[in-house]
Chain A
Amino acid sequence: MMSLNKMSLGVIVKKQFQYKLKAYASVFSSLVVLQIIAILFSLGGNGSSGSYNNNLSINTTLYTNTSVLILTMLWIVIHAIMITTKAERENGFTFVSNQLSNNLSNALFLLLASVLGGITTILASFLLRVIVYFFIDTNPIIGTGFTYQLSDVLIGIVAMIFYLILLGSFGYLLGMITQLHRMLPVIVPVLVIGMIITIAQTESDVIIRLSEFYYQETNALFFILKILVTSILCFIGAILVSHRLEARR
């Protein structure tokens, strides 16, 4: 085996990243399949409203790309968790590497996945509009939500990419924590679901406040900083956990 001293960390990370691009190609095919399914679900409309007054009945069908957004967010979390499993971690050691390089290459892979997921999610909004316009709904389009300005698209892509980075890093940390003990893959989801139920029962606004912390940030620089700092903290946490995992081997 080649000595670690003879290869810089950057080279190792690069090689591992290249390996993961091949090994995890199914991550991207699943993204495509999921987004297509979500678009198909959205074709029926995401909501409808009706109102009647003065001999006029008005019915509107609302179309949004929310299904694609939600499924893409779930997709990044699930894949971030899946690449922390023992089998995947051991695959990373088939050639010269260490925990740090493995984590960094995973972070790079999740970053790439976030960029591709963010771009395709926002562009899928165009596909939905075109399909609805030409093939699905012949009713007149009313309102101002149909037209995209260039600024809408750019803001949407940037924001979506950073949301995926945030969720990906959170999923990665969560996945790494579940590897600490064989019971944790069962306990952690139960804890998460239990917390959601508790929050719902106590009508606590903690989730709303948390989402407001990111979503209501109108300053682009602060928004990016908030997400980057949170994500870096998640990755540092994951690296520390992975070192503990290595020490136990």
Chain B
Amino acid sequence: MSIISMLLPLIIFVFIILVIAVAAGKLSKLFTAKRGYWMLFGYSLLLIISVGVYYFSAVSEEEGVQSKDFDMNRDDLYNVLYDGAPIESYQKYLEKEWEFPYEGDTLYFDYLGDDMNTINVAVERYDGNSIEASFYQTPIYVNGENVREYMNPIDLQLYSDQLVIELAESRELRFSSFAKEFPMQQFREGNDDMWSGYEIEWGTQLLYLRIPNGIKTSSNYDIYIEYVSE
């Protein structure tokens, strides 16, 4: 198997060489010198037109530039869960807020929707009489461009003693990307870093709940809950 997989590129390579050699032989009979040069001239004209179209139409404006808020060192929301980082320092990532007055003794958590898209939940106890919920999402960069706006946020509903986390439906994003050809990188430092044309930096999500002291919590589903500030 390994020999076949090793030889296959060589066989294809030899095949391409043969095709080029045969095509060159056939073309020499098919085209006179004059026709050959007319062909080259026509092709060159087409290439020059395409350069003109590229620079003088909307094509060159299509480039997805790196987001102005590109922040490779953005904070990770997991720091709130595991390192005791204060949620106040993540306010710029706040997406949505809810508040539910609640007087019950026990609160049950449950999921609704696509359980492929579960979310981490941080619970903080406080002296109050309502459940305060905040949803945080750090940016997601695809090739340096922030695509957070395309994400569907979660929703929350309180039904009697049940706090239902309505998980977002999955969304598919399709992009095209282009890579500059290697001769264009020739005289640049670090040109050996071959870029695959695809670079993604996933963000993190967190549902932060503030629940009054004295209310027992229970999860009847596989919900990851981390109790912070305790």
Q: Which residues of B contact A58 (CB under 8 A)?
A: 142, 147, 172-173, 175, 200
Q: Is the interface of B mostly helix, strand, loop or mixed?
A: mixed
A232 interface contact, C-beta 8 A: no
B180 interface contact, C-beta 8 A: yes
Tell me whether B196 and A148 are in contact (CB under 8 A).
Answer: no
B37 interface contact, C-beta 8 A: yes
Q: Which residues of B contact A35 (CB under 8 A)?
A: 43
State the CA gap A46–B197 with chains docked (Å): 10
Tell me whether A62 and B192 are in contact (CB under 8 A).
Answer: no
Q: Is the interface of A mostly helix, strand, loop or mixed?
A: helix
Tell me whether A159 and B186 are in contact (CB under 8 A).
Answer: yes
Tell me whether A28 and B36 are in contact (CB under 8 A).
Answer: yes
Residue in chain B with minimal CB distance to A59: B174
A116 interface contact, C-beta 8 A: yes
Q: How many of chain B's residues have a CB under 8 angstroms from any CB in A?
A: 85
> Which A181-221 residues have a C-beta within 8 angstroms of B?
189, 193, 196-197, 200-201, 212, 215-220
Tell me whether B6 and A126 are in contact (CB under 8 A).
Answer: no
Tell me whether B183 and A145 are in contact (CB under 8 A).
Answer: no
CB distance from B67 to the nearest CB of A (A): 11
Q: Which residues of A contact B60 (CB under 8 A)?
A: 147-148
Q: Which residues of B contact A110 (CB under 8 A)?
A: none
A65 interface contact, C-beta 8 A: yes
State the CA gap A33–B205 with chains docked (Å): 52
B151 interface neighbour in A28, A46, A56, A62, Cβ under 8 Å: A56
B224 interface contact, C-beta 8 A: no
A13 interface contact, C-beta 8 A: no
Tell whether A22 pairs with B181 under 8 Å between CB atoms, given A57-B172, A223-B187: no
Apart from A45-B176, A215-B182: 8 A-B pairs, beta carbons within 8 A: A55-B151, A56-B151, A57-B173, A63-B177, A143-B175, A156-B180, A197-B7, A223-B186
A-B contact pairs, 17 of them (CB 8 A): A28-B40, A29-B27, A51-B200, A55-B169, A59-B174, A59-B175, A61-B176, A129-B59, A134-B59, A143-B64, A143-B199, A144-B143, A152-B184, A157-B183, A159-B186, A201-B6, A215-B186
Which A residues are closer than 8 A to B by beta carbons?
Answer: 21-23, 25-36, 45-47, 49, 51-66, 69, 71, 74-75, 78-79, 82, 116, 120-127, 129-134, 137, 139-148, 152-153, 155-160, 163, 189, 193, 196-197, 200-201, 212, 215-220, 223
